[in-house]
Structure 1
Amino acid sequence: MSGELDLPRDRYSSDNYEQIIRILEEKLTSLQAETESLRKELNYYKSELEKLLSPPLVEATILDIIDNEHVIVKSTSGPNLVVTVSNEINTKTLEVGQLVALNQRGSTIVKVLPNREEPFVKSMEIIERPDVKYTEIGGLSQQIHEIREVIELPLKEPELFREMGIQPPKGVLLYGPPGTGKTLLAKAVASESNATFIHIVASEFAQKFVGEGARVVREVFELAREKSPSIVFIDEIDAIGAKRVDLGTSGEREIQRTMMQLLAELDGFQPLDNVKIIAATNRIDILDPALLRPGRFDRIIEISLPNFEGRKDIFNIYLSKMKVAIDEIDLDYLSRQTDGLSGADIKNICTEAGYFAIRNNEREIHMRHFIAAINKIKGNKKQGEYKDREEKYT
């Protein structure tokens, strides 16, 4: 018949149809999987869009529970509020001090938030203990004995104090010139004891917003209680513990509020609470008398500049770690020439002596290097005073 295609019949055999059907089925399966993937992606972006468009919630702390429907909360963005509770929340599960989320208008509790640790406060806990031993501290044998009695012994053997009927001091205040070993002594306590060590510089208590400093103090001591036995070391406590004045700026008043919170926390501890406080300062003369009264920092330990024997001990400690020409080192002379210097100065002298040897391409540190280092550290302009002694070891 004209106009009709003359196609071979075997082209449309049953095998070919089955092959075409299989290809179409595979393609359909692939399209269904792709549709499901796109549907999931669409739902994801819808949920993200809802999150972006949803109003923020307000964090608050429960102060009191009035009844099954009303609660008093302290909002982070304003004053105390009396709010209602969403029907989705069981009022019986609410507790004073819990964190909750309020809706945008701040009139209803819509979610109970989990308790969390303040990252700023948590970072104060020393996880890896300082590698400092009492044997590495020179010239402070009496102070080490005292701080071990006051800090370590009550933590390790509290039953001994109960048996004797005495109460050990709550806290220890270390005072003295800079570089005498106050912080080093606190690090040794952290290293030698099995207690959790929390280190904070007092200036970190000074926060930007009103009430934040007091909150940080409170949370530091809450962390100390949770991690007990623990030691709280407050360095440079004069930053918040200076004598109070009647007049001052708003910043000074905030510092005073922070100190009042610190005093309250010190008063709240029992001597055998397994929490001990060590504070350090260079200026004990400016501290508020309220900090120094009995019941707070009961033991006050002076960390003074090392004497002749103390300086020899410090030199011995650092020289034991250095490659020196030990036969020519005169410790008595070094100790005499460093009168009035601190332990930190002596450490600096030993470091500078090493640099003098390195500059001269020498593989050993000699006496002349120490003398040159003393001249540099002391800033002594009378270089000729040591010239004869220096030439002896040249």
Structure 2
Amino acid sequence: MSEREPISEALDAVVDFYPPGQLPELAYGLIKRTYDIVADRLVPAKAEPLFHDIRQPETEFPLAPGSDFWPMKMATDVIVRGSAFAPGGNPVGSQMIRVTVGNEQKMIAVYGDRAVHWPARGQLRFGPPEPYTEMPIEWARAYGGCDPRVPVGIDPMTVAAWSKLEFDHPGVYPRNPFGKGYVVVDEPAEGLSLPNLEDPSALLRPETLITGDPRKWYLQPLPVCYEFTNYMMFQRYAWIGLESWFPPPADAPMREVALGLLPTNFAELAKIVPGDPMQPLAIQEGPMGMVYPDLAPGTPVIVEGMHPELAHVGFPIPAPPKVDFYIDGKVFTEPAQLTTVLVEPNLARVSLTWAARRWDLPRPFVPGIHANIPLALLIDDAHTVPYDSPPPLRDQVKQGGGGRPGKPKS
């Protein structure tokens, strides 16, 4: 799939119907603006395109993290992408970085690479962190991963069964299968390394590193990172009715519940929620503690420790765009809700995505049946985005195409 180009230098936007491939319930618009951050102010920059169009049938890994194409996302994900930089460029073994949004803050303790010295049972100790000048802030460096020594209990194993064990394995840490440092089996292991990113309020210690029982994973520290989360993480896949290999007890003191990521009856979700990856709470991609119900214009965002020269990068949340829907000759003004804030502090840049929705359609529209659907989006009274009606099914049949109704043209 070719890379999308923004509709103008100022912004990128699309207008479409939801749900895809069905009789539409609403029309929606997605708008993305990009800004340079200069002296704690926002300066309009060349627009970044809307990313990862999950509507396109040829899109690889449609549920991969970081899509702007979630029209039903009801809260704001704040993402900070980049690295921690040692102050002044002088190598350090550890440091603290922080993201502050309004009155809330999220801190990460960043360490250089650390080995685990484990010559025999009962003799485990942590090695000192190696000095670094830059440390990527990514889930692969956060707490998590898999202890492959946990027995699977399936014998003999087929090739297909082995391939499924990459993420569905009894030794996987359900909160972050991509990380490192998760240890279950209390036996010395070679090449074990500790995470580079830790929650400063729940640092790993030699006496807490080993769970001893894969069923007790929920008692371990939460992984911390500022990047997009993944569907393969517990707090997201629970919302589509999936369970970890070892579901936590119904009365478990889940940190996800305390943070509002899961309900108190989280153990019942597998029975009561449909297996739909489009569930509103499943598509929130922000890291734990960085999903906000409402970020009003003017809310300050400050990132500390993630610019190679500046101690901090900060800006206020800008005002949303004015959005009008032109539908069947009528004009409907709808509010734009902020869905994603993507900060790239090392570039001193931020991109913001808003979604606007029009639920009450003047009449039924059926993409793929109606040849021309009178729908367009007007943004800030300056940018018009027409709806790209897919060709009618009869035309697709004549041309030998097999497209599905409601899918946009490539």
User: How high is the TM-score relative to the length of structure 1?
Assistant: 0.23
Structure with greater contact order relative to length (CA < 8 Å, sep ≥ 6): 2
Relative to its length, the structure with more helix (as a share) is 1
User: How high is the TM-score relative to the length of structure 2?
Assistant: 0.22
Relative to its length, the structure with more strand (as a share) is 2
